Structure 1
Amino acid sequence: MTDLATPFGTPAPPPTPSELRRWRQYLADERAEAQVYRELAQRRTGSERDILEALAEAEGRHESHWLELLGDQVGKPRRADARTRLLAVLAKRFGSVFVLALMQRAEARSPYESDADATPAMAADERIHGEVVRALAARGRSRLSGTFRAAVFGANDGLVSNLALVLGIGATGVAPGVVLATGIAGLLAGALSMGAGEFVSVRSQRELLAASTPDPDAHTAVPSLDVDANELALVYRARGMSEQDAEAKAHDVFGGLTTTTSAIRIQRVGDAGITAPELSAADVADDHEEIGTAWQAALSSFCFFASGAIIPVLPYLFGLSGLGAVVLAAGLVGLALLGTGAVVGLLSGGPPLRRALRQLAIGFGAAAVTYLLGLLFGATLA
């Protein structure tokens, strides 16, 4: 084994069995994490692939640290922890934003900051790795956030509203057929309402944002402006620059003016005064990608509301009634709420269990209120 020494030059005591176990586990985890990044890299291209391969190399440096400490006591290869092994399987088969979100959480939970056997550089690496993975995951979240928002909102609304409706009506003591008809009506009415509402909402939002997006072809007018009397500086002032900075910017534009200049292209109001990337017409069209399209949002809301709303109706579809139907409906909806909450937690980089329990508490709270109201009205009508 590699000789370790204290600051005074005397040999350090040999590692304890617990230290060896911990180092071997760290070694296995580092190897597994590097494999996750390599699997993800194989499903990416361009800069994303390069970034993921660089992260795998960084995990290799950490692996070398534990190998050096272990020396000739590496022992038999250990298995990585269950979470990292699962990530490796998911990365190999899917390579999705879910895996990146999970890796973000894994990097954030690194034990190196509190472990005296890990170097400060290793702890710093893990923190930076978390930010790198966060940025990579953000690209995927941006691509799916519009449809995902509508889907999650639709599914949860369907689960909670129809469970509340079914339980509330059922508690009044009406026949099971009435409860079933009410649940189906609630499903159709809610799904159509959600779909139409999302379509109008997203279409309106995109139109509003498009109205504030700079004209990507406005730069073609710059070469024809009067150098001594023009309103180019007003463009920069309208987008947030001070008068002095706007005048200086306009002066610089005319100082190096060419027929292909696109100096007045600024992606957003807040980008004024900041060097922004060149924008093409396609860039402007895709600028609001994270919002999603109106049809995508509408279809997602309709389908996911319906998929959520059908769950509390299932017991009545299969002929159950009374307390048994209520318990089964609540149980099925509870499992679904836990699932959607966990998915939201994973994608947002937050704790899945906490998000799942929050969804469950909100859903059951709303259903309990309507059920109690149904009991009250049922007793009153009786």
Structure 2
Amino acid sequence: MSIETSSRQPGPADIRRWRRYLADERAEAAVYRDLAGRRSGEEREILLALAEAERRHEQHWLDLLGDQVGKPLRGDLRTRVLGFLARRFGSVFVLALAQRAEARSPYSADTDATPQMAADEQIHEEVVRALAARGRQRLSGTFRAAVFGANDGLVSNLALVLGISASGVPTHVVLLTGISGLLAGALSMGAGEYVSVRSQRELLEASTPNPATRSVLPHLDVDANELTLVYRARGMSADEAQSHADEVLHGLSTYTVEPDTASDVDAIDEHEAVGNGWSAAISSFCFFASGALIPIIPYLFGLGGTTAVIVAAVLVGIVLLGTGAVVGLLSGASPLKRALRQLGIGFGAAAATYLLGLVFGATLG
């Protein structure tokens, strides 16, 4: 489908805007090409197709500008940052940022962009969203453990340290309490994760059919066909189970299929991958400990009183904003909103314990 050009005489503002669009299209195409260079197979083909679509949009603005193209401009800061990340990392973070960039396309409200271009940009958002979803799924387990563990350590130990500090105890007591909270929380997280992973593995193992069952398949009564009960127990309808079991037994009787592969009687639907218990425990311990260390840093350097409280709160606030922004990026939501939400929740919990510490300190005093 051809792209129509504008028939009206462009003004200086139009020329500037078209040149900006041209620069952005070139930068976005470069981002997709850089990402494609780090992918293979279907994902590579999809990213190259997106780059080609951006090239078509680029040609539209070239046609409108004609001999007024001028010196090439640089893409906007957001797109340049995307390009930098794509060349060096090519990760799901870049795709998540690209998803948000596509969602902000101005073409739907610009009469100089064709309806096809506006539709392209909206479809591009969905394409990038789907590609980003693949990456999110690949790292969801590890990322969840990292964010949950670090945030738990940050908030719980900040609340503990501030609560104890507000009660008026000496600085060394606050430090000792913070270190104890770090160790206790990290060990608890590690032990809990180990038990969780081990229990999940044991449940899956209990659901795994006995491999010896395959050896009795050739001896089943074809007329009775007990194999249908296996498939019905797995959720198939009676007719589907009967048909599938007949196919399996027919393959065995005619030797057209090997017994080990003819039947999926030993198949199991694992809804989620399960990692190693010790690896999960050590990771959780480290994630929690890294977060819980932040609030006690000022006390480790000898600060005390209100100064230590303020420094601890500032340090934890910076980290909470960072983790919240990362969560926002990966979820395709606003990084700023997620960062502020994370900060509000963390500081809310810490403020509550600080006030309780003041109350108990005044009461005991």
Counterparts in 2 of 1:208-219, with a 5 A limit?
Answer: 208-212=203-207
Aligned counterparts of 1:214 and 1:26: Cα–Cα separation in 2: 59
Q: 1:308 to 1:19 in 2, by over 3 A?
A: same
1:248 is displaced (CA, Å) by: 4.0
Q: Which residue of 1 aligns with 2:355?
A: 372
Q: Which residue of 2 aligns with 1:296?
A: 279
Aligned counterparts of 1:138 and 1:238: Cα–Cα separation in 2: 32
Q: Which amino acid aligns with 1:314?
A: I
Deviations 1:294-325 (A, max 9, x none): 33322222112111111111111111111111
Contact 1:218 1:264 in 2 (8 A): no
Bigger mean CA deviation after superposition, 321-330 or 45-54: 45-54
Contact 1:312 1:332 in 2 (8 A): yes
Instruction: Determine whether 1:39 maps to 2:34.
Output: yes
Aligned counterparts of 1:15 and 1:62: Cα–Cα separation in 2: 18
Q: Which amino acid aligns with 2:185?
A: G
Q: Which residue of 2 aligns with 1:239?
A: 234
Q: Which residue of 1 aligns with 2:311?
A: 328
Q: Which residue of 2 aligns with 1:92?
A: 87
Deviations 1:318-371 (A, max 9, x none): 111111111111111111100111111111221111111111000000000000
Deviations 1:244-278 (A, max 9, x none): 34334445556777314546479776xxxxxxxxx
TM-score by length of 1: 0.84
Q: 1:57 to 1:350 in 2, by over 3 A?
A: same
Q: Which residue of 1 aligns with 2:328?
A: 345
TM-score by length of 2: 0.88
Aligned counterparts of 2:129 and 2:266: Cα–Cα separation in 1: 26
Q: 1:220 to 1:361 in 2, by over 3 A?
A: farther
Aligned counterparts of 2:4 and 2:257: Cα–Cα separation in 1: 69
Q: Which amino acid aligns with 2:306?
A: L
Contact 1:312 1:330 in 2 (8 A): yes
1:105 is displaced (CA, Å) by: 1.8
Instruction: Determine whether 1:307 maps to 2:290.
Output: yes
Aligned counterparts of 1:43 and 1:193: Cα–Cα separation in 2: 39
Corresponding pairs, count = 358
Q: 1:89 to 1:267 in 2, by over 3 A?
A: farther
In structure 1, stretches of 5+ residues that fail to align are 6-11, 270-283
Residue in structure 2 matching 1:360, options 328, 343, 347: 343
1:54 is displaced (CA, Å) by: 2.1
Counterparts in 2 of 1:1-382, with a 5 A limit?
Answer: 4=5, 12-212=7-207, 225-251=220-246, 258-260=256-258, 262=262, 264=264, 288-289=272-273, 292-382=275-365
Q: 1:327 to 1:70 in 2, by over 3 A?
A: same
1:215 is displaced (CA, Å) by: 7.5
Aligned counterparts of 1:148 and 1:26: Cα–Cα separation in 2: 36
Aligned counterparts of 2:211 and 2:47: Cα–Cα separation in 1: 33
Q: 1:130 to 1:299 in 2, by over 3 A?
A: farther
Quote the sequence identity (%).
Answer: 72
1:90 is displaced (CA, Å) by: 0.7
Q: 1:3 to 1:246 in 2, by over 3 A?
A: closer
Aligned counterparts of 1:81 and 1:292: Cα–Cα separation in 2: 42
Bigger mean CA deviation after superposition, 347-356 or 164-173: 347-356
Q: 1:245 to 1:341 in 2, by over 3 A?
A: same
Aligned counterparts of 2:48 and 2:217: Cα–Cα separation in 1: 44
Q: Which amino acid aligns with 2:113?
A: A
1:56 is displaced (CA, Å) by: 1.5
Q: 1:294 to 1:102 in 2, by over 3 A?
A: farther
Aligned counterparts of 2:216 and 2:311: Cα–Cα separation in 1: 67
* CA RMSD across the alignment: 2.7
Deviations 1:191-234 (A, max 9, x none): 11111111211232343345446779977866665443213333
1:172 is displaced (CA, Å) by: 0.7
Q: 1:149 to 1:214 in 2, by over 3 A?
A: farther
Q: 1:356 to 1:210 in 2, by over 3 A?
A: farther
In structure 2, stretches of 5+ residues that fail to align are none
Aligned counterparts of 1:306 and 1:348: Cα–Cα separation in 2: 25
Aligned counterparts of 2:109 and 2:36: Cα–Cα separation in 1: 30
Aligned counterparts of 1:232 and 1:339: Cα–Cα separation in 2: 55
